[in-house]
Structure 1
Amino acid sequence: MNPKALIKRIVPNRVWQFGRSSWDGIQRIPGRVEAALHPWRRDSIQKLRALKDVHKGERCVIIGNGPSLNKTDIQKIRDEYSFGLNRIYLAWEEWGFTTSYFLSVNDLVIEQCAHEIMALSLPVFISWRAHRWLEPQDNLHFLYTTYTGPKFAKDVSKRVWEGATVTYTALQLAYHMGFSTVVLIGVDHSFSSKGKPNQTVESQGDDPNHFSPHYFGKGFRWQLPDLETSEVAYQMAHRAFLADGRQVLDATVGGKLQVFPKVDFDQYFGK
């Protein structure tokens, strides 16, 4: 048994998690200081603070990228405030409208799609780690996101835990903006591709896991999902919204996620 496994076996889990979180926090200090001093990040902090509660009491839709989008009458939400994630823009021409906001925090997605992201004109939110592939723009907001240190950020001008899914980051952003009701669609929470969570793989053909076969098409590098960690994150989001008298609803057609209350998409958004 390796030393790390032995320590985890002896030390109570709560103590182990506290120690790990503390150590992760110490390791993040240099990066946080560097980011805080960078003019691009400082500018983003001010822009993010200005967005605090700008949609207080309103409703929004967070649009995942699962195949269920192809079974969803997307025109019913064209007039809703909405968050689009990663390569959602591949669907915009067919839809005839764009989302209100765009978000991506995955390094591989941003690196390979930087020129597409830079061409977007709507408000864009990107992980600070990816600033090396981008240039500052008025519509660009850099979020200081991390892989470790589980938390639900009620103020996204500060550190934001990614929770192994961009959807969780979107939930924190929606909370920050003050939305009282968030509706999830396209969050299928299931993948045909199997393997070690977070492992980087290269697509060998059409993408079966998203709404378009070209989403992560042949040659695209991406990371296999970590559904277990994302469920932990979703539980944190559920509790945070409820504690503040707000709600997250799941209107995904045939979605497998069981954390949030389910609503029927067509009934909820009407005919």
Structure 2
Amino acid sequence: MPVSQTIPDPDNPILKSRETINPYRSALRSAGSRLLWDLRFESWRSRRILNSWKDKFSGADKAVILCNGPSLLKSDLSLLDGVFTFGLNKINLLFDRSDFRPSCIVSVNPFVISQNAEFFNKTDIQLFLDNYGVKKKEIKARSNVAFMHSSTAGFARDCSMSIDQGYTVTYVALQLAFHMGFRNVALIGADHNFAVNGPANKTVVADKEDESHFDPNYFAIGSKWQLPDLFQSEVSYMRAKQTYEAFGGRVLNATDGGKLEVFPRIRLEEFIRE
């Protein structure tokens, strides 16, 4: 029986990628990007802020990263009182229904930074943002904002120079947690499962309520966003897991349900009690 061929999606990012792997081009692009960033005063101001967070919590008990899957609403956030927490992207959409506030917020996707600029520009919460925000003049430089340069170097144990986005903001938060000195980290809301299918990293426009995140207006109708790359995310997660374990630490998954199985499972209550 003949196997039918699939019709290529002209918007698939793979079709737009180069045929050859050119290390010179990659090296020049990475170095050039870093050099252009260092020509800005903001690069040095942000690096000072990032350096001030280096090993600030060395020897600290634990930290929790709040991912943005629907299951986040199942987690008892009152358990996080007194625990250092990383909120991601549009975690502020949770604020109208909860008194919880994260210790800091991490965001690196250009679409998210643009869509959430109003909140980012008025909050007093510590922000760690991709330098896209300041380069496009969307985010104001302030004492509670550190802009980060993104590269593809792997897992940054020191984030003061560059970070690797690793196809998911959760990976960036794991690098920042390590940078700050945390070695015992748990994830919640990491569903690793999306209601929308399509080519990884493809830019799409939301045409209905968001069922992939904790708020139906996370990517509101008409908003641009990029489809997830779950495979590459798992590659990044494995790198983070191996790095933490190499230094005597661990990353655990305290999500209620979900499909992320890279990290050992634990109940949030148990993690907090330890």
Q: What TM-score do the two structures reach when normalised by structure 2?
A: 0.88
> How many Å separate the matches in 2 of 1:76 and 1:66?
18
1:36 to 35, 38, 48: 38
Deviations 1:36-64 (CA, angstroms, capped at 9, x unpaired): 12101110011111110001122110000
Measure the CA separation in 2 of the matches of 1:248 and 1:256. Answer: 16
The answer as to whether partners of 2:186 and 2:271 remain within 8 angstroms in 1 is: no
Q: From 190, 199, 208, give the equivalent of 1:196.
A: 199
CA deviation digits over 1:127-183, x for unaligned, max 9?
01221111211101001013xx35000110112110000000000000000012111
The reply to whether residue 228 of structure 1 matches residue 231 of structure 2 is yes
In the alignment, does 2:211 pair up with 1:208?
yes
Measured in 1, the distance between the counterparts of 2:153 and 2:40 equals 25
1:252 maps onto 2:217 in alignment = no
TM-score (norm 1): 0.89
| Counterpart pick for 2:54 among 37, 52, 55 | 52
Letter in 2 for 1:143: M
Q: Is the CA contact (8 Å cut-off) linking 1:150 and 1:233 kept in structure 2? A: no
Say if 2:252 and 2:265, in contact at 8 Å, map to a contact too. yes
C-alpha displacement at 1:252, in angstroms? 0.5
Confirm or deny: 8 A CA contact 2:125 2:144 kept in the other structure.
Answer: yes
Partner of 1:174: 177
CA–CA distance in 2 between the matches of 1:263 and 1:97? 22
Task: Report the AA paired with residue 149 of structure 2.
Answer: Y
136, 142, 149: which one aligns with 2:141: 136
> Where does structure 1 differ by over 4 angstroms across 4 or more consecutive aligned residues?
none
Residues 150 and 163 in structure 1, CA contact (< 8 A), matched pair in contact too: no
Name the CA distance, whole Å, in 1 between partners of 2:208 and 2:187: 28
Q: Distance in 2 between matches of 1:25 and 1:187?
A: 33
Structure 2: distance between partners of 1:265 and 1:113:
28
Distance 1:97 1:234 in 2: 26
Secondary structure of residue in 2 paired with 1:205: coil
Secondary structure, in 3 states, of the residue corresponding to 1:248? strand
Letter in 2 for 1:139: N
2:5 aligns to what?
A: none
2:162 is the alignment partner of 1:155: no
Give, in angstroms, the shift of residue 106 of structure 1.
0.2
Q: Distance in 2 between matches of 1:197 and 1:167?
A: 17
More helix by share: 1
- Amino-acid identity (%): 37
The answer to whether 1:110 aligns with 2:113 is: yes
Matched to 2:241, the amino acid is H
CA distance in 1 between counterparts of 2:209 and 2:141 reads 33
Cα distance in 1, alignment partners of residues 182 and 27 from structure 2: 29
Amino acid at match of 1:40: E
Q: Equivalents in 2 of 1:35, 1:150: separation in Å?
A: 17
3-state SS of paired residue (1:61): strand
RMSD of Structure 2 on Structure 1 (CA)? 1.6
Partner letter of residue 106 of structure 1?
N
Count residues in correspondence: 254
Q: Deviations over 1:191-235 (max 9, x none)?
A: 010001111111112100011111112111111000011111001
Other-structure match for 1:97: 100
